[in-house]
Chains A and B, each alone.
Chain A
Amino acid sequence: MIVTRKALNRRTFLRGMGTAIALPFLDSMTPALAAPTKAPVRMAFVYVPNGIDMANWNPAYEGKLGELPRILKPLEPFRQDITLLGNLTHNWGRVLLDGAGDHGRCSASYLTGVHVRKTMVDIKAGVSCDQIVANKIGHQTRFPSLEVGLEDARQAGDCDSGYSCAYTNNLAWRSDTQPLPPVLDPRMMFERLFGSGLALTPEARARQGRYRRSILDFVTGDTKKLQSDLGPTDKRKLDEYLSSIREVERQIARAEKDNAQIDPHMEKPYGVPADFAEHFKLMSDMITIALQADMTRVVTFLVTREGSNRAYRELGISDGHHPLTHHLGKTDLIEKVIQINTYHVQQFAAWMEKLKAIKEGENSLLDNSMIVYGAGLSDGNRHAHEDLPTLIAGRAGNAIKPGRRVVYRKETPMTNLFLTMMDQMGVHQEHFGDSTGRIDSLTSA
């Protein structure tokens, strides 16, 4: 038998008029008779601020996950896809000898694992673990990493008791003095993923009338040509993928239209939806596309900034998030904190659903990922830095055995987890931050 089928290049793009759309993982990218191509492992960190009500986060049991506590209830459908980790600690977030500023410290040390300098001027942290990975494997993808956020990207000023806003508003640090600010605006993100790489001014956009049309229109020729070469399964995958891009476009256009009709003095970047859930969905949809098309394997997602005072009026909560977390044990305030915590998890769960629905060979995109959802504080009322709320969604390509709650010994550094995760990305470091070793029981049942 002569096999003539030629495998589709993993780096095939649909191109047209300054647009380049990367493709998702397709069966036809595997050479005929070759062993199935192993999809890459993706790593992401989703950070929520001000701690979490731990009484409604931690199950009362260890081992196999059973009924989930109230805040985690939205993740019930994904019980077999998540691993809950207990007792992980970030010592460098603690007061130690630096006084007030737990919020500034805990977010800046979260992925860097270092003692950050208390300052508003000459900031100093360390290279974050996502960037260590990005530096090593980033050349394999279009973007070494993506930094995404929903709230605030100010880089100067005092955001917590003498800690620069650079500490609270970034998760990723390229060097000890260079944070990577998150992209908040969906339009900016979209252009970064699919545009020419040149950010157009709104005037230029209007002049070109470009956004009255879909970017998919510009790549019609390439799309048709590709579709004719694909089997039915790949055709369906491609259709779903392009539809998801089109849906993101529609959402952005809708947000832009809505923004034009609301208070012009509102401090919202162009294209940022006023609705939190919609903003989360848009950004997570684009992260999904980026991961699916292997545009990047490393993502940080700062849901809201540490110390956030956002009011969740959509939940009927007009108090700021941060003041609520200093509830002094008042049950009505705690209830509101729980509602906010749960609301965040709901958005995350909706994202998980999408990741799980995307197939990559025998696995799903979620299976091939390890997405940490967590915070740099556990009890926000006391500013506690031990037993940090931490879950990992996904299996890192079957390396992680999920569906369990694993509780480590007290004072186990969070950086031990990150060191272990870096291993899964093929990046092996002897130490990271204040690590004392790797964590066990993550990759073995």
Chain B
Amino acid sequence: MQFGAQGKPPVGIILDADIGAGIDDILALAMVFGLEAKREARLVSISVSRPSLKSAAFAEAVGRFYSGAVSGAFGAVGRTLPVGLRLDGKAPEDLPVITTPLSKRNEKGEVVYAHGIAKENDTAEIPALIRNALTSQHDQNCVVVLTGPATNLADALAIPGITELISKKVRFLSMMGGAYPDGKPEFNIKANIAAAKKLFAEWPTPIIASGVEIGDALLFPASSIESDFAWAPNHPVVDAYRAYQPMPYDTPSWDLSAVLYAGRPQGNYFKLSDPGRITVLDDGRTKFAPAADGKHRYLILDPAQKENIIKAYIELASEKPAVRQPRRRPQQQQVTPPPPPRPPEAKP
């Protein structure tokens, strides 16, 4: 087995994010890499729901920034994870939150945050990407995190056999979307109401939803951007934060809660609702109905934990990538008996 000697690896995270729409998706992405640096989780798939090449390019640039932290958990060891990108739909205007860091150059005129995405076929087809990532995970050792509209995950549900695969591999879906126990239509749900309805109705594992009220109540502090990321002279998350709004500003942390719960479900940062069923109304509002056999819960903010939660957000989002020892492939075994020269091991 891949990790036979050490048992199961840290939980794999499949992240589908609305990169480019705001700053909280980007902070959430940084938190995933923080969990990876602390060996609490591994990013095994990233996909972008905003149909813009620049959004995918930014996601890949962040992955390359954390370099060693990009696990390449499926496919060949050491490769950069392909970035899944939704292509249909009207290409949105690319906002400074991603265009500014992507266009940043150093004093030699070189691009600071390199990426390899220039055209559509530099990105991955999302349903296949997510399915393939799932196949590389140990049973019940994967968490799916959704911080954008439900479009991509709803599409993935159309692949034959994927419901069984998700049930086998995924512990739960941690998603930012809705308002609980009730409230106005929330952005991620409203962006694709049909997909959200399908997701809540058909997703086979437990779903833990983080409502808009959680992020509204917990602001990520600008002071952290000024100080905690200083270990990198150029940091794409810092440059994105600065480009999103005039500094200094504290920002709602909507998507961060979904990552924190995914990575540390036992952390007691949030309270959980009783089980029940979340349905999406035609106007985009979410409705929670308690049910003993329900698979859905939502996060409840415990005011006493506010400080701890913010601290965890900062700790994970600003974490340096861990220095990795080179990973070795399992020893290359003899392929054709009897081969006179023993094949050398493939490079890590």
Contacts and interface: CB of A to CB of B under 8 A. Distances in A.
A, B co-complexed:
yes
Interface of A: 62, 86-87, 89, 91-92, 94-101, 103, 115, 157-162, 168, 305-309, 319-320, 322-323, 326, 328-329, 379, 381-386, 407-413, 431, 434, 436
A91 B339 CA distance: 28
B266 interface: no
B79 to A, nearest CB: 7
B332 A326 contact: yes
B339 A87 contact: no
Interface string B324-348: 0000011111011101111111110
Nearest to B135: A96
Contacts of B122: 410
A275 B61 CA distance: 51
Interface stretch (B125-133, B188-196, B220-228): B125-133
Interface class of chain B by DSSP: loop
A381 B138 contact: no
Contacts of A408: 121
B74 A96 contact: yes
B2 interface: yes
A410 B131 contact: no
Nearest to A384: B76
Contact of A323 (B1, B129, B342): B342
B142 to A, nearest CB: 12
B102 to A, nearest CB: 20
Contacts of A323: 339, 341-344
Contacts of B74: 91, 94-96
Contacts of B339: 309, 320, 322-323
A411 B121 CA distance: 10
Given A97-B137, A436-B125, 20 more contacts: A91-B135, A97-B1, A103-B335, A160-B333, A305-B336, A309-B335, A322-B343, A326-B344, A326-B346, A383-B76, A386-B82, A407-B121, A408-B121, A409-B123, A410-B122, A411-B132, A412-B128, A434-B128, A436-B127, A436-B128
A96 B133 CA distance: 9
A99 B329 CA distance: 9
Contacts of B75: 94, 384-386
Contact of B336 (A309, A384, A434): A309
A36 B266 CA distance: 73
Interface in B195-248: none
A158 B335 CA distance: 8
B289 interface: no
Interface centre among A115, A161, A305, A408 (most CB of B within 10 A): A161
B341 A319 contact: yes
Contacts of A98: 1
Nearest to B125: A409
What 5 A-B pairs have minimum CB-CB distances, sorted nearest first?
A307-B335, A410-B124, A161-B333, A410-B82, A91-B132
B136 interface: yes
A322 B340 CA distance: 11
B109 interface: no
Contacts of B79: 382, 384
Given A86-B121, A381-B346, A383-B346, A411 B76 contact: no
B336 A322 contact: yes
Interface in B289-348: 329-333, 335-337, 339-347
- Interface size of B as a range: 35 or more
B4 interface: yes
30 contacts: A86-B121, A89-B132, A91-B74, A91-B131, A91-B135, A94-B132, A94-B136, A95-B74, A96-B2, A96-B135, A97-B2, A97-B136, A159-B335, A159-B337, A319-B341, A320-B336, A320-B339, A322-B336, A322-B339, A326-B344, A326-B346, A328-B346, A329-B347, A379-B76, A381-B347, A382-B76, A382-B78, A409-B120, A409-B125, A411-B82
Contacts of A329: 347
B77 interface: yes
B160 interface: yes
B4 A99 contact: yes
A162 B1 CA distance: 12
A97 B7 CA distance: 12
B111 interface: no
B150 to A, nearest CB: 19
Contacts of B332: 100, 326
A436 B155 CA distance: 11
B344 A100 contact: no
Contacts of B125: 409-412, 436
A366 B135 CA distance: 38
B159 interface: yes
Nearest to A327: B344
B333 A328 contact: no
Nearest to A101: B333
B347 A382 contact: yes
Given A94-B136, A100-B332, A410-B125, A431 B76 contact: no
A65 to B, nearest CB: 17
Interface string B45-85: 00000000000000000000000000000111111001010
Contacts of B343: 322-323, 326
A306 B128 CA distance: 26
Nearest to A162: B333
Contact of A411 (B4, B120, B124, B341): B124
B2 to A, nearest CB: 6
Contacts of B345: 326
Contacts of A412: 125, 128
Interface centre among A87, A161, A168, A382 (most CB of B within 10 A): A382
B160 to A, nearest CB: 5
B346 A382 contact: yes
A381 B128 CA distance: 25
Interface string B1-27: 110100000000000000000000000
Nearest to B348: A382
A418 to B, nearest CB: 15
Nearest to B4: A99
A100 B331 contact: yes
